[in-house]
Amino acid sequence: MATTRMDLDGRPIKPITICMIGAGGFIGSHLCEKLMSETPHKVLALDVYNDKIKHLLEPDSLPWAGRIQFHRLNIKHDSRLEGLIKMADLTINLAAICTPADYNTRPLDTIYSNFIDALPVVKYCSENNKRLIHFSTCEVYGKTIQSFLPKDSPLRQDPAYYVLKEDTSPCIFGSIEKQRWSYACAKQLIERLVYAEGAENGLEFTIVRPFNWIGPRMDFIPGIDGPSEGVPRVLACFSNNLLRREPLKLVDGGQSQRTFVYIKDAIDAVLLMIENPDRANGHIFNVGNPNNEVTVRQLAEMMTKVYTKVSGEPALESPTIDVSSKEFYGEGYDDSDKRIPDMTIINKQLGWNPKTSLWDLLDSTLTYQHRTYAEAIRKAMVKPTAS
Ligand SMILES: NC(=O)c1ccc[n+]([C@@H]2O[C@H](COP(=O)([O-])OP(=O)(O)OC[C@H]3O[C@@H](n4cnc5c(N)ncnc54)[C@H](O)[C@@H]3O)[C@@H](O)[C@H]2O)c1
Ligand SMILES: O=C(O)[C@H]1O[C@H](OP(=O)(O)OP(=O)(O)OC[C@H]2O[C@@H](n3ccc(=O)[nH]c3=O)[C@H](O)[C@@H]2O)[C@H](O)[C@@H](O)[C@@H]1O
């Protein structure tokens, strides 16, 4: 690195070693890419899989060879974990089960993964005085207060009832039989534990609440690089439908609202947290794009338009189809109605703002999906079934 990197307060940034748990996933792969191409930091990359970071690990001639080291391990049961945390200056924990199709169908695995398996990570960081950046979720907010107001209430227009703020918004989940909330509840408890370790034992921590980060390498395309019956998050579900020329499935009418942020914008925010510990420690940060709000139905319509442009293929006559949540996800599903992040804290502490519009981020992401999967899907679809 020719020029010295400076932090937000004009001080030179010292190269550090980062223990990144879950480095082989969607967010981890983008974060590793950024750290290798733009910083001098070292990464100990821990995961059970490394397919999404293979391009960073091989061949040995890559400019960052020696700065990234992959350790294949499952944090549920691996005695190497504490040693790796001790070797690093900072631990970033991304490991989790985080696809809604699992929350109501595999609630035990979901709770274990998001709470129990994260406990030793927090403990080792606290005991060894190591800084921790823990990945939580915007789902800890659950439903908005607005969703409980009468349909004709003028208060529904007031942002105080729906914009989600780290330090004042309540966490509103459904009943226990709505097992959808197993994930949000486990994430909330691990946030409280991390926060308490900070308060009682001086753990230096930052908690990240991502709001629907999307982009290339998110999840998998069923039957191509993941199980045929698997249900990934919405970007991959809709990409799969578009690639296969099937109607996009709108769960319960596609009325829920989301704000989507481009993964590359969000990664800039994480890098600011990594390199500005004095400004990031002790904080919980919403990371999202309040300007990119759509209903899921609008997302489906926009993805259909963008994909038509990218692939050159006309859209289907009926591009979407309605399905019930029970049919799509099974018993115990429930949904967040609306997710708009308040940006005050991240703005004040780190001066971060998202840049990419929804149209532009879908354009680059669907271009990637088409380039990566269209041929494989075509081959899979013409393959004669074994008799
Ligand atoms: N993508 C988003 O928009 C989003 C939104 C909210 C929260 N998050 C949180 O961010 C984190 C990363 O999300 P992602 O989208 O990259 O998910 P991902 O599923 O792509 O990545 C998670 C990675 O963790 C690994 N992992 C899981 N359990 C492990 C274990 N026991 N040992 C070792 N590795 C393990 C997985 O193999 C996977 O590679 C998660 O904690 C998730 O809850 C993500
Ligand atoms: O990304 C986030 O910020 C968080 O939210 C996600 O939750 P959710 O947004 O509900 O998950 P998606 O699978 O992306 O679904 C978004 C919406 O699309 C709908 N959907 C999904 C898939 C589909 O084919 N059709 C469809 O209408 C869902 O019902 C939901 O209303 C996941 O819980 C986590 O990855 C994460 O913590």
Cα(49)–Cα(21) distance, integer angstroms: 11
Q: Which atom of ligand 2 is nearest to the CA of 210?
A: 3
With CA atoms as reference, report the closest residue to 256 among 193, 189, 329, 198: 329
With CA atoms as reference, report the closest residue to 96 among 264, 206, 219: 219
The whole-number pLDDT of residue 114 equals 98
Which residues are identified as catalytic?
Answer: 183
Q: Which atom of ligand 2 is nearest to the CA of 183?
A: 33
In this predicted model, what pLDDT tens digit does every residue of 40-49 receive, in sequence order? 999 999 999 9
Ligand 2 neighbourhood includes 296 CB (under 6 angstroms): yes
Q: Which percentage of the chain shows pLDDT scores above 70? A: 98
Report the complex ipTM: 0.99
Q: Which atom of ligand 2 is nearest to the CA of 211?
A: 3
Q: Which atom of ligand 2 is nearest to the CA of 250?
A: 27
DSSP-assigned letters across all residues of 73-92: --TTS-THHHHHHHH-SEEE
Ligand 1 neighbourhood includes 29 CB (under 6 angstroms): no
Residue of the CA atom closest to atom 2 of ligand 1: 213
In this predicted model, what pLDDT tens digit does every residue of 373-382 receive, in sequence order? 999 999 999 8
pTM over 0.95: yes
Ligand 2 neighbourhood includes 250 CB (under 6 angstroms): yes
With CA atoms as reference, report the closest residue to 362 among 228, 239, 244: 239
Ligand 2 neighbourhood includes 251 CB (under 6 angstroms): yes
Cα(206)–Cα(171) distance, integer angstroms: 19
In this predicted model, what pLDDT tens digit does every residue of 245-278 receive, in sequence order? 999 999 999 999 999 999 999 999 999 999 999 9
Q: Which percentage of the chain shows pLDDT scores above 90? A: 96
- How long is the chain? 387
Residue of the CA atom closest to atom 5 of ligand 1: 210
Ligand 1, residues 19, 30, 44, 47: which to mutate, most atoms within 8 A of Cβ?
47
- Measured between alpha carbons, how far is residue 84 from residues 73, 123, 135, 206, 281 in Å? 11, 14, 19, 19, 21
In this predicted model, what pLDDT tens digit does every residue of 77-134 receive, in sequence order? 999 999 999 999 999 999 999 999 999 999 999 999 999 999 999 999 999 999 999 9
* For the CA of 70, the nearest ligand: 1
Say what the alpha-carbon torsion angle 197, 347, 216, 233 is, to the nearest 10 degrees: 60
Cα(257)–Cα(294) distance, integer angstroms: 6
